[in-house]
Structure 1
Amino acid sequence: MRCRVWHHDRPGKAKTAALWSPDAEAYLCDEHALAGATITLLYEPNRSGEIAIRVITAAHVERRATPIRTDTEARP
C-alpha cells in the first residue's frame, strides 16, 4: 500500500494530484489528500484468485479488482 501526493512545479499553477493506490486507480481530491486521513485495512480471505480494493466514503463505494499472478505466469 502506497500513498503519495504529487505537486505540479509549473509557475502559476498550484495543482496537486493525490494518489492513494496506484494499482486500484483510486484517487483522492487535493483537500482530502492534504488534510490527512485514517486508512483501515480489513483483510477478508475469499479464494477468488484476485485482490480487490473497496474504497468506501460517506457517499460512494468504489471496487477495483486485479487478478493475482504467480511466478509461473508471464507478465504482459
Structure 2
Amino acid sequence: MPTSKESLIRRPAVLQTTSLASSTLERLLVAGEFPAAVRVSRGTVAWRQTEVQQWIRSRRRVGRGKAERGLS
C-alpha cells in the first residue's frame, strides 16, 4: 500500500516521464527490468512514482558508466 507521501502514476505518465515507447515498456516489464505496476482497481494499474524515479536514476548511472569507458 502506498504511503501518504507516495504518488501513483498511470501508464501515459510513465511513458512521458521515461520517454519510453509503449512496446519498450512492455518488453522491460516482461523481462523484469522495470518496476511492477500495482493494481489500483479492477482493470486499472499504476506505478509508484518513487520506483519509476529510482529506475530513471539507475539508468543514468549505466549511461554515464558507458560514456566514461568510451562506449556508445
What TM-score do you get using the length of structure 1 for normalisation? 0.25
| Greater gyration radius | 1
What TM-score do you get using the length of structure 2 for normalisation? 0.26
Bigger relative contact order, structure 1 or 2 (CA pairs below 8 A, ≥6 apart) = 2
